[in-house]
Amino acid sequence: MAEEKRISLIVPVYYEEEVLPIAYPRMKASLEATGYDYEIIFVNDGSRDGTMGVLRKIAAQDKRVKVLSFSRNFGHQLAVTAGMDEATGDALVIIDADLQDPPELIPDMVKLWEQGADIVYGKRKKREGETFLKKFTAACYYRLLTSMSAYPIPLDTGDFRLIGRNVADVFLKMREHARFLRGMSAWMGFESVPLEYIRQERAAGKTKYTLKKMLKLALDGITGFSTKPLTLPLGIGGAVIGLSLLGFLAVLICACTVGAAPWLWGLCGVALLQGIVLLFLGIQGAYMGRIFEEAKQRPLYIVAEKLNT
Ligand code: UDP
Ligand code: MG
């Protein structure tokens, strides 16, 4: 089976000196098992511990290992992006360094890719060794995100996935700063196939995703994929205006029959003004949403296949 085709494994690393000596041999063995040529791209996202020392040693004895080292911490999503920019493979696999995503699944991902999938994404059937709070917030968040996004982002997936060269080339064209890779992948479409797996416990070290980083990612996910929050005041403003007009009518009827306290007119007037303000906020939001879409400068469309052109 061994052909000239190449698999690029992209591994973002941030303070992972403990885990790398265990992770690298498992990643290498799994790539060998695919029968294809391969490269492993480690992206050091500004670690200041012994991570670079370990990576230097690995790179010195294995020419298939490439290392990029950031000048500072730019974050996981940008580390993966740098790896994608550097990758030369026909298929790219993105995997965490901490072995929570088992590298042994790579050959299965590659098989599904050979069978025609453009994207094979790892779907977490179960998460081991993670706190109840993390599992709960993740479950709620993914459901909220799906309900807001115009493009369905598969539930319970992370960035552990294989993408074909065709998909990687589109990623290269999407240069937006706030990146939420799994959402961008959903936006692109393509033939996506899930591969279920049990998310393992971290092999060593502690999570590098602090609460602050997680919140930023969560916010990037929502703001990057939905302009719905911006236009929310449109509906609310409309409803408030409608209610205040009904209020006016009710007060008028009362005034003509049983009588109405004068402040009731004032109440309806305030509600009407608030409704108008909300409505205009929503209109501004609609324009902002359009500016935002334009600013991202995404490709207008993606051609997956061409015949006789
Ligand atoms: N990571 C990174 N930059 C960061 C934070 C994390 O490159 O700022 C890497 C980290 O080394 C690991 C992957 O991203 O390979 C996922 O991080 P982690 O395992 O800490 O997150 P968790 O699995 O706990 O969500
Ligand atoms: Mg992890």
Atom of ligand 1 nearest to the CA of 206: 20
pLDDT at 4 over 80: yes
The gap from C-alpha 61 to its chain's centroid, in whole angstroms, comes to 34
Which residue has a Cα nearest atom 19 of ligand 1?
Answer: 207
pLDDT digits (tens, 9 = 90+) for 165-205: 999 999 999 999 989 998 899 899 999 999 999 998 999 99
pLDDT digits (tens, 9 = 90+) for 90-124: 999 999 999 999 999 999 999 999 999 999 999 98
Centroid of ligand 1 to alpha carbon of 15 (angstroms):
9
Q: For residue 189, give the nearest of 101, 95, 305 by alpha carbon.
A: 305
Give the pLDDT score at 127.
Answer: 77
Which ranges in 11-122 belong to alpha helices (H)? 20-33, 51-61, 76-86, 106-114
When computed from its CA atoms, the radius of gyration of the chain, rounded to whole angstroms, is 25
For residue 158, what are the CA distances in angstroms to 46, 50, 102, 181? 22, 27, 13, 9
pLDDT at 129 over 80: no
pLDDT digits (tens, 9 = 90+) for 148-164: 877 788 888 899 999 99
What residues contact 181, with CB distance under 8 A and at least 6 apart?
77, 80, 81, 94, 159, 171
Q: Would you say the C-alpha torsion 51, 57, 59, 65 has a positive or negative sign?
A: negative
Q: How far apart are CA 36 and CA 9, in angstroms?
A: 12
pLDDT range class, residue 219, cuts 50, 70, 90: confident
Ligand 1 contacts CB of residue 75 (under 6 A) = yes
Give the pLDDT score at 61.
Answer: 97
Centroid of ligand 2 to alpha carbon of 287 (angstroms):
38
Asked whether the beta carbons of 98 and 23 are under 8 A apart, the reply is yes
Nearest listed ligand to the Cα of residue 212: 1
Centroid of ligand 2 to alpha carbon of 121 (angstroms):
16
Ligand 1 contacts CB of residue 208 (under 6 A) = yes
Cα within 13 Å of Cα(190), Cβ side: 28
What residues contact 57, with CB distance under 8 A and at least 6 apart?
none
Which residue type does 234 have?
L
Cα within 13 Å of Cα(294), Cβ side: 6
Six-digit token string for 276: 């108008």
Give the pLDDT score at 3.
Answer: 59
Global pTM value: 0.88
Ligand 1 contacts CB of residue 80 (under 6 A) = no
| Mean pLDDT, range 236-256, rounded to an integer | 97
Six-digit token string for 113: 């890719």
Q: Would you say the C-alpha torsion 211, 147, 76, 11 has a positive or negative sign?
A: positive
Nearest listed ligand to the Cα of residue 138: 1
Token match 């591969």: residue? 195
Atom of ligand 1 nearest to the CA of 16: 11
Centroid of ligand 1 to alpha carbon of 210 (angstroms):
9
pLDDT digits (tens, 9 = 90+) for 42-55: 999 999 999 999 99
Pocket test for ligand 1, best of 26, 197, 206, 209 (most atoms within 8 A of CB): 209
Pocket test for ligand 1, best of 24, 54, 76 (most atoms within 8 A of CB): 76
Q: How far apart are CA 274 and CA 272, in angstroms?
A: 5
Centroid of ligand 1 to alpha carbon of 81 (angstroms):
14
Give the pLDDT score at 128.
Answer: 75
Nearest listed ligand to the Cα of residue 68: 1
For residue 124, what are the CA distances in angstroms to 43, 139, 140, 204? 24, 11, 15, 20
Atom of ligand 1 nearest to the CA of 74: 8
Neighbours of 43 (CB within 10 A): 28
Nearest listed ligand to the Cα of residue 18: 1
Centroid of ligand 1 to alpha carbon of 12 (angstroms):
7
